[in-house]
A and B are shown apart, each in its own frame.
Chain A
Amino acid sequence: DGGITQSPKYLFRKEGQNVTLSCEQNLNHDAMYWYRQDPGQGLRLIYYSQIVNDFQKGDIAEGYSVSREKKESFPLTVTSAQKNPTAFYLCASSIGGRGGTEAFFGQGTRLTVV
């Protein structure tokens, strides 16, 4: 089935360690996105990528890094520089940056840093 897959669903890390969250899509979408969600809050954009080998910072990119080496993959690394990394992370994809097209979301990764 076509879709967008995030793994793992739950992730625990010690403070000071970098951690990479996986996001894979088989929808042949050009655009991919990473959001962060804190309890009781809406989604905030971390990074987005419109095409392979290109990505742009969103509203809260500090402490995060991404790569887009393949169309179907957009991994997010939470670095030790991120001061409050514990959150729910959501990946999304869409056909492109055009209006009138919907985005599809993965089921999220809940990261807990202890």
Chain B
Amino acid sequence: DAKTTQPPSMDCAEGRAANLPCNHSTISGNEYVYWYRQIHSQGPQYIIHGLKNNETNEMASLIITEDRKSSTLILPHATLRDTAVYYCIVRASGSARQLTFGSGTQLTVLP
């Protein structure tokens, strides 16, 4: 599975949009981009995933560049409860292994 690169930490003001970047320059054509988040001492929570097209759900939007070498997770109106570590992961279709987690980005939403 392709490796991802994320900034170690980011801050965001409450109520503003949080834009979390991820580089995955070695991504293959059959690899999906997943985002999870982990609030302290809890299990990771699935947020969103995509292959080529931009995706949106009730939690967030995922913007994938045309060359698929990077993506951005957007939390449109960040709240204090969005403070967590956010993981960007790529996973091959048909892969027998599960998601490979890096160190992620610690997002801190400030009041």
A33-48 interface bits toward B, Cβ cutoff 8 Å, 1 = contact, 0 = none: 1010000011111001
A92 B98 Cβ-Cβ under 8 A: yes
Q: Which 4 A-B pairs have the closest CB atoms?
A: A99-B93, A105-B43, A42-B101, A43-B101
Give A104's nearest chain B residue, CB to CB: B46
A105 B98 Cβ-Cβ under 8 A: no
Q: Does B91 contact A (CB under 8 A)?
A: yes
What is the interface of chain B, defined by CB distance below 8 A to chain A? Answer: 30-32, 34, 41-46, 49, 51, 87, 91-104
Main SS class of interface, B:
loop
Q: A42-B87, A100-B93, A105-B43 are in contact. List 15 more A-B contacts (CB 8 A).
A: A33-B98, A44-B101, A45-B97, A45-B100, A48-B96, A48-B98, A90-B43, A97-B96, A98-B94, A99-B31, A99-B91, A100-B32, A100-B49, A102-B34, A103-B46
Q: Would you list 6 pairs from A and B whose C-beta atoms are within 8 A, ordered by A residue?
A: A92-B98, A97-B95, A98-B94, A102-B49, A105-B44, A107-B43
Give B46's nearest chain A residue, CB to CB: A102
Give A58's nearest chain B residue, CB to CB: B97
Q: Give the size of the chain A interface in residues (CB under 8 angstroms).
A: 29
Residues of B with C-beta under 8 A to A98: 93-94
Query: How far is A110 from B92 in the complex, measured between Cα atoms in Å?
Result: 30
A99 B97 Cβ-Cβ under 8 A: no
Residues of B with C-beta under 8 A to A33: 98
Query: How far is A107 from B96 in the complex, measured between Cα atoms in Å?
Result: 23
Determine which of A48, A97, A108 lies in contact with B42 in the assembled complex, contact meaning CB atoms within 8 Å: A108
Residues of B with C-beta under 8 A to A105: 43-45
A43 B44 Cβ-Cβ under 8 A: yes
Residues of A with C-beta under 8 A to B104: 42
Give A44's nearest chain B residue, CB to CB: B101
Query: How far is A101 from B100 in the complex, measured between Cα atoms in Å?
Result: 14
Residues of B with C-beta under 8 A to A31: 98
Residues of B with C-beta under 8 A to A106: 43
